[in-house]
Amino acid sequence: MQRKFTKYSLIAELSLYLTQHIKNEDGTLTIRHSPTEISQLLDKATDGMDRILCEVNQNNDVLYDYLIPKLFSLMYKVEYEDGEPREVTKYLVKHVSDDGSSSDRPYFEFVFDDDKYISDEDQNFKQFSQLSGNGKSFDLSGYGFDSKPELDFFRTNLFENEHIKHIWFTGMLTHGQSEFLVRYIDPESHALRSYYPDFLVEMDSGNFCIIEIKGENLIPDADTQAKAEYASRMFSGKHGMAYLFVPSHNAHSLLMEILSDEKSIQFGLEQMHEDERHGLF
């Protein structure tokens, strides 16, 4: 159920996450980023308060996944010493209970290398942001990739693949932030574990590809093969779905090129008929 905010209730909700109350040594209290300051920031926004309210009330996820992280990045700055490796810290807000209580931090914290992080505010990518109306990607305000091959696959298929309707990077959500997962049995411990594929792709045809990018050195690993086996069972052969396992050397390619190269696909598609395979596009 979507919550309906007024200007004042929206500012109050933002203040829960952004306002700091700092106790000084003399016992006095310093307030940073008060509700008044938050209100002034929203009033100065390009879209204006009315547009922000409209977007938030249409979909509350805009508030928690976009607006709060965006304001946080404006209010707080990470500084580096000369020569220190640069990192990007991203915060994903958790949904709190109805009474506003939370047993731990009300957000997830991610840290990425800055050369593997893409924000939907970047000049080259903002055309695909949640607020652009395009919607080809960015269900979050930014993606942090584990490897360059993952980033290469995303860039190539975001910009150059006209057959793709949506491409989402899901591989960064691996600690309870997403329900998009595969349950599998660890071949060594025999324990039940969770596996989070790297990409979910929707084609213009309405069919879906679930894609995993993996380094060649990890392909023979028993755990890697167990993940692929269970994911292939879960997705492949079902109407309109395919699971693709792509070695990293081929990750720079367009998806249709990967599909046509049988040697590049280690798992998945075996259960699909030729007409179903070509019907992905």
Residue pLDDT, tens place only, 176-207: 667 778 888 988 888 888 888 889 899 888 88
Mean pLDDT in residue range 83-103: 54
What is the value of pTM for the model shown? 0.61
Mean pLDDT in residue range 132-145: 79
For the sheet containing 164-169, what is the strand order? 164-169, 199-203, 208-214, 241-247
Mean pLDDT in residue range 4-9: 91
Instruction: Write the DSSP symbol of residue 196.
Output: -
Question: What mean pLDDT value characterizes the chain?
Answer: 78
Mean pLDDT in residue range 6-19: 90
pLDDT value for 78 = 58
Indicate the range of 39-43, 209-213, 266-270 predicted with least confidence: 266-270
pLDDT value for 47 = 77
Letter string b/e over residues 66-93, b meaning 16 or more CB atoms within 10 A of that residue's CB: bbbbbbbbeeeeeeeeeeeeeebebbbb
Mean pLDDT in residue range 115-125: 82
Distance of CA 191 to the CA centre of its chain: 27
Rounded CA gap, 161 and 52, in Å? 32
Q: What percent of the chain has pLDDT over 70?
A: 75
pLDDT value for 95 = 53
Residue 275 has pLDDT above 70, yes or no: no
Mean pLDDT in residue range 151-162: 92
Cβ atoms of 219 and 246 within 8 Å: the answer is no
pLDDT band at 156 (very low <50, low <70, confident <90, very high): very high
Residue 124 has pLDDT above 50, yes or no: yes
The pLDDT tens digits of the residues spanning 215-242 come to 888 888 888 888 888 888 887 666 678 8
Cβ atoms of 56 and 10 within 8 Å: the answer is yes
Rounded CA gap, 148 and 252, in Å? 9
pLDDT band at 6 (very low <50, low <70, confident <90, very high): very high
pLDDT value for 174 = 73
pLDDT value for 272 = 40
